[in-house]
Every structure is written in C-alpha cells, then in structure tokens.
Structure 1
Amino acid sequence: MKIEVWSDFVCPFCYIGKRHLEEALKSLPDVSQVTIDYKSFELDPHSPKDSDGDIHASLAKKFGVSYEQAKAMNDRMTEQAKEAGLTYHFDTMIPTNTFDAHRLMHYAESFGKKAEMTERLLKAYFTDSKHIGDHETLSILAEEVGLNKEDVQAMLTGTDYADVVRQDEQEAQQLNVQGVPFFVINRKYAISGAQPIEVFSNALKKVHQEEQPLMVLNETTDEAICADGSCQIPTKSK
C-alpha cells in the first residue's frame, strides 16, 4: 500500500492529519507493507522569508478578521492539536516561506531520512518556534536527523531540488488538490483534510482487503490452496 501525502510545514491541520494517519495505521495487521511518501505543497508561495508580525497578525490579514478573532481561531486549533497529542505554540511561531524547507525534505530523501525530516520540520515550526525559512536553522534541524550540516548549507545556497518541489505542486494541480493535508492511497482513494482517525482506519482497511489475493476453496475440504502469493485451482483426484 502506498500513501502519498501533500502538506505544508506551516499548515496546522497537516500535522494533526499526519498524527491521525499514524494512529490509523496501527489498525492494519502489517504496517511494514505500507509506504508513505510526503509531497510538497506551499499554502502561500509568495510569503516572505522574514515577517515583522506574529502568526495571529498574519492570519488576521489573510482572512480579513480582527487580531482578537485570529487569536481565538488559533486557540481553538491549539485544543485540536492537543487532542492529537501535539503541542502548538502560536504565540511564538515564526511566519515564513517554506520553499527551502520543502527542498530540504527532498534532499533528506536521498539519505533515507525524508520521514524523519518531515516530522522534525513540523515540530520545529509548531512546537519549538523555530524559523524554518532560515538556512542556518534548517541546517541544524537536518543535523539533528543525521544529515551533514555543511552539506545541507551548501545545498540550500543553490537551487537543488527546486524542480522536485515544483513537480509535486504541479502533480497536486493535476489531482485537483485544493488544500492540504491531502492523502492519496494507491492512487485510488483520496482523503482531504485532517479527518478523524476512524475515517483513515476505514479507508486503510478497505484498501488492505482489496490487496489480498483471491482465495480459491477446495470443493471437498473447503481449504484455501495458496502458495507463493497466489492461489490455484485444486486438481481433482480421480
């Protein structure tokens, strides 16, 4: 089973949705058969790397609401995150552009560290109040998951993996992804948003059942005759 996840590192629902998916995966009999591929999606590609205001001010401007209303919205989001076992610190979050963070995620994939890098970047932004648009910060975070800090710094100064980020985003457009998180299972089923764990569990179980081999029963013993991943019609004895 392959699960593709489009998300952004400053999307509060994305971290919650990731946790819900991880909890739902526990309902499968064999999680080792599941692969998760994290994809890039920028909520605001034009957002500046550095911002003078805090996250409440950014949200207020984006949705045309007052600062107090924006803060109340973030307070409610904090409670939702807590239910998923996450800690959000909106008061100290640092608004930024996530393009380089996405490049770093894909760079980490070449070292088998894509999942670890994705988790670290989300936690860095929502819980640790790190500036994930800053190259020095990104290099330190990369080092924490086992990557070479100097190599990461060199990569970030160039344009490596920019085309991979854009490819993910173009693919999202082709799939008509309107927002994130967006989960695609085996390119057959899609789940939009941070749905309840039960929604993920039901979808995963359905796909798992569809992936099981056809069971052919022996007409005399009613026993399935299966071997090497396939079932064969039993030969009748004369």
Structure 2
Amino acid sequence: MKVHIFSDVRCPFCYVGKKKFEKALSIFPYKDQIEIEWHSFQLDPTLRTQPERDPYEFFSELKGLTLEQTRTMHGHAEEAGKEVGIDFNFQNQKVANSFKAHLLLQKAKLLGKADSLKEELFKAQFILGENIDDKHQLLSISQRAGLSIEEAQEALGSEEMAYHIKQDEQLSRSIGVRAVPFFVFNEKYGVSGAQSPELFLEVLEKAWKEYTPSSLETIEGPEGACSTDGECN
C-alpha cells in the first residue's frame, strides 16, 4: 500500500509530521508492505534567498507581526518538536528558497533514497542552520543521504527533475492540498497536518482494509501545518 506525503523542507511541522508518522508506522503490523512516496510542495516558490537575514525579523516583516509574536509562534513549533525528539534551532535557520532542495528530492526518489535525503534536508534547515539554496552545501547534504556528488550535480541542473516538481504541484492542486504536511493513504484517505501517531495508525489500519479507490476523504485535526500564505499553526 502506498502513502504519499506532500511537504516542504521549509515547513517545521512537516518535520514533526514525518516523525509522528514514522512512530505510527513502526508499530503497524504490515509496515514492510507500506511504500512511501515523497512529493514536492513549495510554500513560497517566489521566496528570495537571504541567508544573512535574521529569520525572526524576516518572518515578522513578512507577516506584519511583532518580534514577540513571532518568537511565540516559533515557540509552539519548538514544543511540538521536542515531543518527537527534534531540537529546533530556529535562530540559526537560513532564509532560503527550497526549489533546489526539491530538485534533489526528485532525484533521490528515483534512486530509492528520498526518505534519507528528506531527513538530511530537514536537519540542514532546522538544526544545522545550513543554506538549502546553496549548491555546495546541498552537495554535502546529498552525500550524507547517500547520493554521489555526480548524482546531486546532475539533479541540480536537471530540467527533468524540475518537470517532476511541476507535476507534484499539479497533483497537489488536483486533490486540494492547501497546507502541508499532507498524507494520502492508498489513494483514498487524506490526513492534513502533523497529527498524532495514534491518528496516523488508525488511518493506516483503515486504509489497509479498504482497497477500492474512491474520492479522497480529508481528515482534519488540531495539530500543526504550514499553508501557502505563510501561516504555521
């Protein structure tokens, strides 16, 4: 059974959602028969990379918030991260466009290394404070995920990988994805947000029993997600 995951490397709740889903999957009896496919979803394709900017000040200006409000919002994400073992380092994160990171993700999918690369990209963005729009840093990140320098360089200049990103964007629009993370189970059930492991497990079990494709039923919940308008809650 396949589980599709739409996410952006710049979304902290996508990292949290990854960890919560993995926890649910680890205790699912048929976990070895679950295939995960990562999909590209850029929260802000027009974002200009500004690695020298203070991330809190940038977000405050972007959203028209005070620094105190911005720190409070990030504090909520920090607490969510601690619950799943993520030590977010928002102060040192770089303001960077994620398109090149998605180019690498598309290549990693073809090589069967997407999950490993996704983890390394999240670490780079939210823990190590690396620039996910910098070619040299991306090559290093790719190596940590098991890609060769040649494979990563090819991806960063590939029109084919860029086309795959556009395909993912079209797919997300066709099924109504407006915020990430977004999980699709067996082409049937959609789960929006970084939900609890218990909810993920429940949907895994339900989807496993039902194989007849039908219209996508979205399951909303109280946990966090990031939308294309820049809101993370």
TM range (shorter): 0.7 to 0.9
Equivalent AA in structure 1 for residue 70 of structure 2: A
RMSD: 1.4
Distance (Å, rounded) in 1 between the aligned partners of 2:146 and 2:28 = 29
Q: Report the secondary structure of 1:85's partner residue.
A: coil
- Relative distance call for 1:158 and 1:209 in structure 2 (3 A) is closer
- The structure with the largest alpha-carbon Rg is 1
Task: State the match for 1:132 in structure 2.
Answer: 132
Equivalent AA in structure 2 for residue 10 of structure 1: R
User: Is the contact made by 1:49 and 1:134 (CA closer than 8 Å) also made in structure 2?
Assistant: no
The alignment status of 1:96 with 2:96, answered yes or no, reads yes
Task: State the match for 1:230 in structure 2.
Answer: none
Task: State the match for 2:30 in structure 1.
Answer: 30
Structure 2: stretches of 5+ with no match in the other structure:
212-233
Task: State the match for 1:7 in structure 2.
Answer: 7
Q: Which runs of 4+ in 1 moved over 6 A?
A: none
Task: State the match for 1:192 in structure 2.
Answer: 192
What's the CA shift for 1:97? Answer: 0.2
Q: Any idea what the Cα deviations from partners look like across 1:21-75, whole Å, max 9, x if unmatched?
A: 1111123112110001000000000001234422212221232211221012112
Q: Report the secondary structure of 2:210's partner residue.
A: helix
Structure 1: stretches of 5+ with no match in the other structure:
212-238
Q: Any idea what the Cα deviations from partners look like across 1:165-207, whole Å, max 9, x if unmatched?
A: 0110111001111110000001100000111111111111112
Task: State the match for 2:210 in structure 1.
Answer: 210
The count of corresponding residues between Structure 1 and Structure 2 is 211
The alignment status of 1:66 with 2:66, answered yes or no, reads yes
Distance (Å, rounded) in 2 between the aligned partners of 1:111 and 1:26 = 23
Distance (Å, rounded) in 2 between the aligned partners of 1:161 and 1:31 = 29
Q: Report the secondary structure of 1:110's partner residue.
A: helix
